[in-house]
Chains A and B, each alone.
Chain A
Amino acid sequence: MARKATDFFPESDVAVTGVGMITPLGISAPECWENMLLGRSGIRPITKFDVSECPVKIGGQLPESYDLLEKSMIHKRTFKQTVTSTRIAMICASEAIKDSRLEINAVDSRRCAVIFGTTGSSVRTLAEHVDGPDKFKIIREMFNAAAARISMDFGFKGYSFTISAGSESGTCAIAKAYDLIRHNMADVVIACGADTLLTANFLRRLKAFQCLCRNTPDPGHAIKPFDKNRSGFAVSDGGCAVVLESIRSANQRNADIYAIMSGYGNISQFSVHQPDTAMTRSMELAVNQSGISKEKIGYINANGTGTTTNDLSETRAIKTVFGNQAHDLLISAHKSMIGHTFSASGVIGFAVAAKSLKSGMIPPTINYETPDPLCDLNYVPNEMIGSDNGAAIVNSFGLTGHYFSLVLKSSEH
């Protein structure tokens, strides 16, 4: 008899015990969550740089309140030694740890790890290359800076590293955190993704991918995942961190558990044409590893970029995996409100799914106005709904060939 993946590991499930988030919708997880449930958009005209040469002049800038938060939480010297994406990651991690009520003295710090996912914002934000003191250039721009900072901030002495897998880097961080815990190599892992790609250069270069939304005088309505008139996404800055923990550790310290992560799928397909098969395989692998029957899955936090091809392919893939059940699923796209935060986006999706399983509330896909006959599933249009679900899938599929699906289940089922 074939062995299931779950037979191999001493720890079969991984608890989600903390969330921290900074997005155009807010500077904390509760603020972002509330605005998502209200169906608000964080997309606005870009003011932080000259957009005259940019193909798209709207995007997801962080709220003005972020600057004050940064000043209150980051020491002046640390500020000079870090780039914005690192500081976002540090603040998100801080919120996630506080949310989890983890006391480092109550756990084995050598079994506490940090995995940070980024596309490489630390070396892409040109202004920060020039502005910072030269003597700090190495520690400011090194790829492992954010993971190292978070480890130092919280006294985590286990694994600490950065991974890069395109816009799925944060999702990959969650998957690898899950592996560390499942392989009994860590008890607690902070998985974090952050990027600050809302720059003039990035927008100009992204034009080649034909994935950016059209300019509109009403930026809040620019991103329309699954709508017939969708035109693409806007680029946003942001970060999200989650605390993942072995069930044993979470129970020992009587932690509140948002949800249980019970599997993931990952496949690489380096072609932007016909990604349906990779999306299908990614979800199937995740469901198989989780050991959860498909019937228990009620919610999908979609990749939902709002591009013509992604949304159609994702819809087709969901139909292939779930058959007739596809029409019963609730599917929503946080990118309709937040935009594309790249490495943060998969972690945000994961946090949204975990909070949905805990609260029974599903945030909507906003700007859904004209149904597309080819995208005919329930995308939770425009208004949140209440729905208790046993399990959820988070899809995170990238332009650069990485496909991840994560499976979460309710801690109460």
Chain B
Amino acid sequence: MKRLLSEAEKTTIYNEIRQYLADELEIDPEKIQEDTNIIDDLGGDSILFLEMFEEFKTKYQIDLEVRTIGQYMLNHPVYTFKETVNAIFDIIEKGEDLIGQESN
């Protein structure tokens, strides 16, 4: 299943991710900039990424195993807010094809 997110949808998801991080880390969303490192700058941790991916997978009804996301992250390191947003865009748009050609 593939889908293409419109710019409007991307803006909505961008803001949802920012708000999710702000809620979980109990900080002002304004503190989260695109180059903000979620672990080093905001006190996040690796479990937070797993929780976040699960949250957005469920919300956007993506049928995808977390281990596939783990494989994806081997080639697409996710540390900053911008990298996180791009990863979630990829997860929603590519779904189970997330690592399709990359794994071959």
Residue from the list A78, A136, A139 in contact with B43, Cβ < 8 A: A78
User: What number of A-B contacts does a CB cutoff of 8 Å give?
Assistant: 19
Task: Give the residues in chain B near A81, CB-CB below 8 Å.
Answer: 45, 47
Asked if A77 contacts B26 (CB within 8 A), the reply is: yes
Task: Give the residues in chain B near A76, CB-CB below 8 Å.
Answer: 25-26, 43
Chain A positions 324 through 348: 1 when the CB is less than 8 Å from some CB of chain B, otherwise 0: 0000000000000000000000000
Task: Give the residues in chain A near B47, CB-CB below 8 Å.
Answer: 81, 136, 139
Enumerate A327-374 residues with CB–CB distance to B below 8 Å: none
Asked whether B24 is an interface residue with its Cβ less than 8 Å from the other chain, the reply is yes
Task: Give the residues in chain B near A78, CB-CB below 8 Å.
Answer: 43, 45
For A75, A136, A139, the residue with the greatest tally of chain B CB atoms inside 10 Å of its CB is A75
Asked whether B51 is an interface residue with its Cβ less than 8 Å from the other chain, the reply is yes
Q: How large is the interface on A (under 10, 10 to 19, 20 to 34, 35 or more residues)?
A: under 10
Asked if A77 contacts B43 (CB within 8 A), the reply is: yes
Task: Give the residues in chain A near B44, CB-CB below 8 Å.
Answer: 77
Number of interface residues of B (CB under 8 A): 9
Asked whether B66 is an interface residue with its Cβ less than 8 Å from the other chain, the reply is no
Asked if A75 contacts B51 (CB within 8 A), the reply is: no
CB distance from B32 to the nearest CB of A (A): 14
Q: How far is the CA of A152 from the CA of B51 in the complex (A)?
A: 20
Asked whether A135 is an interface residue with its Cβ less than 8 Å from the other chain, the reply is yes
Q: How far is the CA of A139 from the CA of B48 in the complex (A)?
A: 13
Task: Give the residues in chain A near B48, CB-CB below 8 Å.
Answer: 77
> Given contacts A76-B43, A77-B25, A77-B44, could you give 15 more A-B pairs where the C-beta distance is less than 8 Å?
A75-B25, A75-B43, A76-B25, A76-B26, A77-B24, A77-B26, A77-B45, A77-B48, A78-B43, A78-B45, A81-B45, A81-B47, A135-B51, A136-B47, A139-B47
